[in-house]
Amino acid sequence: MPDRADPRAFLVHRRRVAEYRPAAERLSDNRHQQLPPGEPMLREQAGRCMACAVPFCHTGCPLGNVVPDWHDHVRAGRWREASDSLHATNNFPELTGRLCPAPCEEACVLALNDDPVTIRQVELGIADRAFQAGWVRPRPAGRSSGHAVAVVGSGPAGLAAAQQLTRAGHAVTVFERDPLPGGLLRFGIPDFKLEKTVVDRRLDQMRDEGTTFETGADVGRDITAGDLRDGFDAIVLATGAQRHRPLDLGEHALRGVHHALDYLIGRNRALAGLPATRPQITAESLRVVIVGGGDTSADCLGDALREQAASVIEIAHGPTPPRARRPLQVWPRWPFVLRSYGAHEEGGERDWQLEPLELLGRDGRVVGVRCRRVEFPGYDGVGARPQPVPTGEEVVLDADLVLVAIGFSGVEESPLFDALGVTVGRRNTIAVAPSGRATEGVFAAGDCVRGADLIVSAIADGRAAAAAVGAHLAERVQAAG
């Protein structure tokens, strides 16, 4: 491909993404579902980028990734430069390239009247090539700052904050209550979406840079707030938001009804060869109903299919999403549109506009879900969603296992917050100043502040918290004179 960009490339080349492995093959293992795209495809697709004078992909990405720059590098085969440009704003592009829903693509100017550029695919291609070529190396600080910082939680926000702080010369310890670091990256996301070797190779880089990980450490219980205050000059809370949103249908009264995350964590621990911390939840040979229609529901679907469930259906109470975008009504904002994941091509069913009314039980165990069909009169996918109106139709779904995947409602209860003087607000999230400061010497980042959100937002928040901690420590040094 010539070094000079073709200004008509987006007219010549259609959007193409890498193929998935055959469904039967990927259901027999827990490897990544999608095949890696080849270099010709990546360079062709990068060439579709129009290098807009005002690139809305920047604003669509919470990290502010300089997307046109690394697209141009890939188009011309300048892979090392593409990697440098990508890593300048994103600590973990190999993770966002696999897990982020790509709001940058929805904000792509080309999406106004065509299919957007495959930004996430190109990003992942750059990241994986960088690892393969050995360009992702430890970047330890040149000198020590003399300050120590504690990071509580090892999800994407905590890891991003830790890496930035370590590279600034601070002695960083990441505390994680689970036996291995990674948070939900390791225990909440199935291997078929994120093989854990991808997480481990980045953690190895961080260790080589000087970040210390203490696992099996439940801060607030095993380690007190006083321990943190005494041992560190600043604290970053990145505990996530894993308080389950309840279904409020008496789910605790019946066996076979579980929160989706409990099922996913159990599956991940089993695949990692770790002992179970609670009775194992299995979908094998069972009729599974998944309540919810988002990413977590699709993750449960994929795991249940790999366990050879007898049947699986996802149900959502919201409107049936349209298959086509209406960009002129919503661009560059996130559109309401049908989103399918690899697991949806592997089996199971999906249905919308079904509102659960009752969990049916027999001898203390769930046997079904009674739902009513609803509609949303006049709703066309744009603007505020009206209240659902019952149609009068009721549906009973047979179920031996019900997985509740209707989201999260803030941080889990912990004595740590009160002990640190941190305020948990009405949304059950940590209240912070615009700088990310929660109280003197304590900062917070990611889902514990926002509520459940995107991985790319968590990384951006972690980077911002690290910058705020750096400014705080510099002010302390200056005040000390």
Alpha carbon distance 217, 223 (integer Å): 7
Query: What does the pLDDT look like over 193-245, one tens digit per residue?
Result: 999 999 999 999 999 999 999 999 999 999 999 999 999 999 999 999 999 99
Provide mean pLDDT across the span 251-275.
94
pLDDT at 3: 63
**Number of residues that this document lists for the chain:** 481
Provide mean pLDDT across the span 343-356.
96
Alpha carbon distance 375, 391 (integer Å): 7
Residue of 180, 252, 302 whose CA lies nearest to 402: 252
Alpha carbon distance 101, 434 (integer Å): 26
> Are 326 and 335 a contacting pair, CB within 8 Å?
yes
Buried b (16+ CB within 10 A) or exposed e, 179-213: ebbbbbbbbbbbbbbbebebbeebbebbeebbbeb
Buried b (16+ CB within 10 A) or exposed e, 325-360: bebeebbbeebbeeeebbbbebebebebbbebeebb
Domains detected in the chain: 9-132 (1.10.1060.10), 148-242+409-480 (3.50.50.60), 251-404 (3.50.50.60)
pLDDT band at 277 (very low <50, low <70, confident <90, very high): confident
Instruction: Tell me the average pLDDT of the chain.
Output: 95
Detail the DSSP E strand segments found in 102-211.
148-152, 171-176
Alpha carbon distance 479, 120 (integer Å): 44
pLDDT band at 369 (very low <50, low <70, confident <90, very high): very high
Alpha carbon distance 350, 340 (integer Å): 10
Residue of 23, 20, 31 whose CA lies nearest to 346: 23
**Strands of the sheet with 389-398, listed across from one edge:** 354-362, 365-375, 389-398
Alpha carbon distance 105, 115 (integer Å): 9
* Higher per-residue confidence, 253 vs 186: 186
Query: What does the pLDDT look like over 289-324, one tens digit per residue?
Result: 999 999 999 999 999 999 999 999 999 999 999 988
pLDDT at 83: 98
Give the orientation angle of helix 119-132 with respect to helix 79-87, to 10 degrees: 110
Query: What does the pLDDT look like over 164-180, one tens digit per residue?
Result: 999 999 999 999 999 99
Cα–Cα distances (Å) from 213 to 184, 210, 296, 408, in that order, read: 16, 10, 27, 27
